[in-house]
Amino acid sequence: MMLPLLIALLMACKGHAQDHQESVLCGHRPLFPNSSWLPFREILEVQNGEFPWQVSIQMLGKHLCGGSIIHQWWVLTAAHCFPKTLLDVVAVNITVVMGTKTISDVNLERKHVQKIIAHKDYKPPHFDNDLCLLLLATAVQFNNVKIPICLAQKESSWDRCWMAEWASAHDHGSAKSLNMKLKKLRLVQMNWKACAKRVTGLSRTMLCAWKEVGTNGRCQGDSGAPMVCGNWRTRRLFQVGVFSWGVTSGFMGRPGIFMSVPQFVPWILEETEKEGRAVTLSRASRVPLTCAPCYSLLLSLGSQILFAAMFAGNKSDC
C-alpha cells in the first residue's frame, strides 16, 4: 500500500516540473538584483542573468543575428537575417545559443531550429514587417539563465529601456569569433513624428530609439536584438522592439529602427498556434523555477511512509 502511494507522489512531482515550464514568469531575472534598477547602481558590464532571454542565432557555428526567447519553443528575431533564396534550406544549418553572456562559455546551451517563419508581408529591400519566428527542435528548459521575455501588448511609456547585443570582446578581430559577449546600451524611445523627419522610409510598424543622454555604452546594432523596457512596480521587463536597421544606433543623430512588437502580437499568436505551439501572453502570478516545494513535501511524506512501514513490520514480528 505504501509503495504505490510513494510512486504516485513521484509522478505528481514530475508532472509539476514539466507543467511549470509553461508558466514561468516572463521578464523576470532571478539572478539579477532589483537594486540594479537604480541609475547609480547600474554597472556598464552585462551581469550574469541580466538578459536571460537573449540568444545568439548562428549559422554553421558563427554569429548571424540576435534574438529573444519568447516561449519554450520560440525565438523572435528579424526576417532580413534569412535571405528568401535560402529560407527553405537554411534551417538545418541554424542553431540558437542561449543561457550565457559570452559565446565562449562552456555552460551555454545550443538548440537546433526546426522551422523559420518570416512575416509574409516582408518584402526586401524594404524593411516593413521585418520580423521572423524560429521554431526550436526541442523545448527550452527554463532556469535562472534562460527566461522568456514578456511581449508588450500595447504602446506605452516605460520606466527604462535597454538593448543588448552580441559584439566582439575586443576592438580587433572578427565579430563572428568565439570571444563575442553581450554589451548593453540604455535607450530612450523617440517620438515617431520626430523620427520620421530624420529617417526616410519610416513606416507605422516601426519605432525609433537612441542612447539615453548621460549614460555610457555603445552598440552598433545587432539585427534581431530585442529592445526591452522595464516596469518599475513589477520589476519585469517587456520586449517592445526588434532591431531592424540603423547606423551606429543612437550616435551622431541617427536613431536605431525597431519593429514595434505590440503591433505584431496578433501575428505571433496566429503563427505559433498554427504550429501547435501557441505562445501565451504574460501571466500575473509568479511560478517558481524549480520543484523544490514539491520535493520537500515528497521527502516529508516519504519519511513518514517509511517510518510507518518499519513500525508496522516490527509490530508484526512481536
Three cell numbers, residue 61? 557555428
Q: Is the pLDDT of residue 6 over 70?
A: no
Q: Which of 141, 139, 121, 134 is nearest to 65 (CA)?
A: 134
Kindly name the residue from 130, 168, 222, 244 that is annotated as catalytic.
130
Distance CA(143)–CA(167), nearest Å, equals 24
Question: When comparing pLDDT for 212 and 258, which is higher?
Answer: 258
Q: Is the pLDDT of residue 200 over 60?
A: yes
The predicted model gives 39-54 an average pLDDT of: 83
Kindly name the residue from 28, 71, 80, 119 that is annotated as catalytic.
80
Q: Is the pLDDT of residue 48 over 70?
A: yes
Write the pLDDT tens digit of every residue in 165-178: 998 876 444 445 56
The predicted model gives 153-161 an average pLDDT of: 82
Phi and psi dihedrals of 285, rounded to 5?
Answer: -85, 150
Kindly name the residue from 223, 244, 249, 260 that is annotated as catalytic.
223
Please answer whether residues 210 and 185 qualify as being in contact, where contact means their C-beta atoms are separated by less than 8 angstroms. no
Distance CA(72)–CA(279), nearest Å, equals 9
Render 23-81 in DSSP notation, one character per residue. Answer: G--TT--TTS-GGGGSGGG--SSPPTTSSTTEEEEEETTEEEEEEEEEETTEEEE-GGG
Q: How remote is the C-alpha of 194 from its chain's centroid?
A: 30
Q: pLDDT grade, residue 297 (50/70/90)?
A: very low
Write the pLDDT tens digit of every residue in 52-90: 999 999 998 899 999 999 999 999 999 999 986 555 556
Q: For residue 104, what are the CA distances in angstroms to 108, 199, 240, 257, 308?
A: 8, 37, 29, 29, 52
Which residues is 260 bridged to in the sheet? 241
What percent of the chain shows pLDDT beyond 70? Answer: 71
Q: Is position 130 annotated as part of the catalytic site?
A: yes
Question: When comparing pLDDT for 117 and 212, which is higher?
Answer: 117
Question: When comparing pLDDT for 47 and 293, which is higher?
Answer: 47
Q: pLDDT grade, residue 94 (50/70/90)?
A: very high
Q: Is the pLDDT of residue 292 over 50?
A: no
Query: Which of 12-16, 36-40, 152-156, 191-195 is predicted least confidently?
Result: 12-16
What percent of the chain shows pLDDT beyond 90? Answer: 46
Single-letter amino acid code for the residue at 137? A
Q: What's the mean per-residue pLDDT of the chain?
A: 78
Q: pLDDT grade, residue 9 (50/70/90)?
A: very low
The angle at the Cα of 229, spanning 228 to 233, to the nearest 5 degrees, equals 140
Q: For residue 33, what are the CA distances in angstroms to 16, 148, 187, 189?
A: 27, 18, 20, 25
Predicted pLDDT of residue 233: 76
Predicted pLDDT of residue 250: 52
Predicted pLDDT of residue 223: 93
Write the pLDDT tens digit of every residue in 236-255: 899 999 999 985 545 556 78
Predicted pLDDT of residue 290: 38
Q: Is the pLDDT of residue 279 over 60?
A: yes
